[in-house]
Amino acid sequence: MSEDERARARRVLAFALDVAMQMFRQGIETAVVVRTVRRLANAGGIDDLRISVGVRAVHLQHCPSGGGEPVVLLGSIEANDTRDIGRMGDLEALAVRAGTGAISPDEAERAIGKLATAGPTWPWYVSLLGGCLLAAMICLQANGTVLAAVVAAALFVLANRVGWALGLIGIAEFFQVAAKASTVLVAAIALLSLGLLDGHEAASLSAANLVLLLPILSLVSLVEDAIGDYHLMAAARMVTVLLLTGAILTGVMVVVSVANDLDILGEAGRVHLATLPLALVPATAVVGSLGNAILMGTPARWWLLACAAGIITSLVNWAGHSILGLATPLSIFLATTVLGALAGAAARTLRVPTAVVTIPGLTGAVLPGPALYLSLSQVFAQVDGSWTAVAEAVVSTAAIGVGVVLGLQLAALHRTESRGPDLN
């Protein structure tokens, strides 16, 4: 391999690695990142690329057919529970343009540099509004009152700003999450002590906000990576899930141990999730999907698609549970399989990231977060059968990832080369 060929190969791999690291940072699925890197390498004339995705690292190696020293690049990656769907779309669209030769290598490199320094899709206060909508919806699902839903939205803002302030001074994420959980319970207990809320309302708004701290998306990604044979990434995500869940429990238990005369966990253990009538199922799905879409940085042009995904998924989930009589994990699996298939079809026909459909759809329609929190509360309150409820909630959460992956794979069976490249 000549020096010019080596320099060209290194430039191609460096660009592909930069795209991969930014994709991981935005929470794009490992399988999508690997396919994108291969597409970019092929477009640059590298057909024998070897890719290894490890624990927070990606390794690219090109062994020239004519012999000689291989070209090797290694990059560290970030993957967390935050998402910016607008940035996902920008990255995947850039990868498609670069992979098809629609833009020159120089233009692609300048574009990826701009994306690396670009801010979030929405200002922080707009994202907070989305989180407020989501917190209010979850509170109502936990049989909270309208007053409790309004307070839950305000409490979401308070907890978010506490975490932001701690992050500003360099406090580790574990302690940020623990502080958020403590803030939620302290505020709920204060309102309960002042007589502004009753025990049921305090428990409902606590459930809504603690649910939003759970690393649900990391758990879903964990299942996706495990099924896709990216076991090291799955193991890394498992550490993240356990760490953040432990942080929530730490924050909760610190407050409970101090204010043990106020049985707020016992109240939470007695909360029952609302069984919504069919007429309200699409309405709550729209609110939840729209709130999560805004929270996750979805551009306004994709809001309608996000809400439609939530409506369809919620109706399939309702039909599986109420008409077919399926257990909760099975009805969620059915609904998310449909959701994954819709996401794959949307990526192919509308040229949007699958996350535009999957993340708002699953959050607004099938997320068993309230059930998971309330079942854990029942464990602390020593309610009979609480561990069975925990197991069902965990299996239901895992079923989300399994169903989404199956749906995406079913959608991929219908892809043809004549339709051109899609984002995923």
Q: Are residues 216 and 329 in the same domain?
A: yes
Indicate the number of domains in the chain.
2
Position 103 scores a pLDDT of 84
Position 72 scores a pLDDT of 86
Q: Of the given ranges (2-6, 231-235, 284-288, 316-320), which has the lowest mean pLDDT?
A: 2-6
Structural domain ending residue among the three candidates 90, 119, 148: 119
Q: Are residues 255 and 311 in the same domain?
A: yes
Tell me, yes or no, whether 232 lies in a domain.
Answer: yes
Neighbours of 9 (CB within 10 A): 21
Position 304 scores a pLDDT of 94
Selected residue with higher pLDDT from 380 and 2: 2
Residue that the structure tokens 């984002």 belong to: 423
Selected residue with higher pLDDT from 204 and 307: 307
Q: What is the mean pLDDT of residues 59-72?
A: 80
Q: Are residues 241 and 156 in the same domain?
A: yes
pLDDT at 121 over 90: no
Position 383 scores a pLDDT of 67
Position 378 scores a pLDDT of 66
- Find the domain containing 31 and state its range: 3-119
Q: Are residues 60 and 145 in the same domain?
A: no
Structural domain ending residue among the three candidates 67, 85, 119: 119
- Rounded Cα–Cα distance for residues 131 and 217 (Å): 15
Residue that the structure tokens 């990255």 belong to: 91
Position 122 scores a pLDDT of 87
In angstroms, the first-to-last Cα distance of the chain is 33
Tell me, yes or no, whether 422 lies in a domain.
Answer: no
pLDDT tens across 67-114, in order? 678 888 888 877 666 678 888 888 888 888 888 888 888 888 898 888
pLDDT at 174 over 60: yes
pLDDT at 335 over 90: yes
Q: Are residues 69 and 19 in the same domain?
A: yes
Taking the complete model, does pTM exceed 0.85, yes or no?
Answer: no
Selected residue with higher pLDDT from 8 and 216: 8
Tell me, yes or no, whether 199 lies in a domain.
Answer: yes
Q: Are residues 10 and 47 in the same domain?
A: yes
The overall average pLDDT reported for the chain is 83
- Rounded Cα–Cα distance for residues 135 and 165 (Å): 21
pLDDT tens across 246-262, in order? 898 898 888 877 766 55
Q: Are residues 270 and 300 in the same domain?
A: yes
Position 25 scores a pLDDT of 83
The residues pairing with 62 across neighbouring beta strands, listed in sequence order, are: 49, 71
Most confident among 60-69, 232-241, 358-367 (mean pLDDT):
232-241
pLDDT tens across 185-231, in order? 899 888 888 888 887 788 778 888 888 888 877 877 888 888 888 88
Q: Say how far residue 243 (Cα) sits from the centre of its chain.
A: 16
Q: Are residues 396 and 359 in the same domain?
A: yes
Q: Are residues 199 and 231 in the same domain?
A: yes
Q: Are residues 131 and 79 in the same domain?
A: no
Q: What is the mean pLDDT of residues 5-33?
A: 86
Could you give the C-alpha distances from 262 to 62, 139, 258, 373, in angstroms and in order? 63, 20, 10, 18
Could you give the C-alpha distances from 230 to 140, 290, 324, in angstroms and in order? 38, 31, 34
- What are φ and ψ of residue 36, in 5° steps? -65, -45
Position 309 scores a pLDDT of 93
Neighbours of 154 (CB within 10 A): 14
Position 154 scores a pLDDT of 94
pLDDT band at 327 (very low <50, low <70, confident <90, very high): confident
Position 417 scores a pLDDT of 45
Q: Which residues contact 21 (CB under 8 A, 6 or more apart)?
A: 58, 75, 76, 77, 78
Q: Are residues 108 and 157 in the same domain?
A: no
Tell me, yes or no, whether 417 lies in a domain.
Answer: no
pLDDT at 393 over 80: no
pLDDT at 370 over 80: no
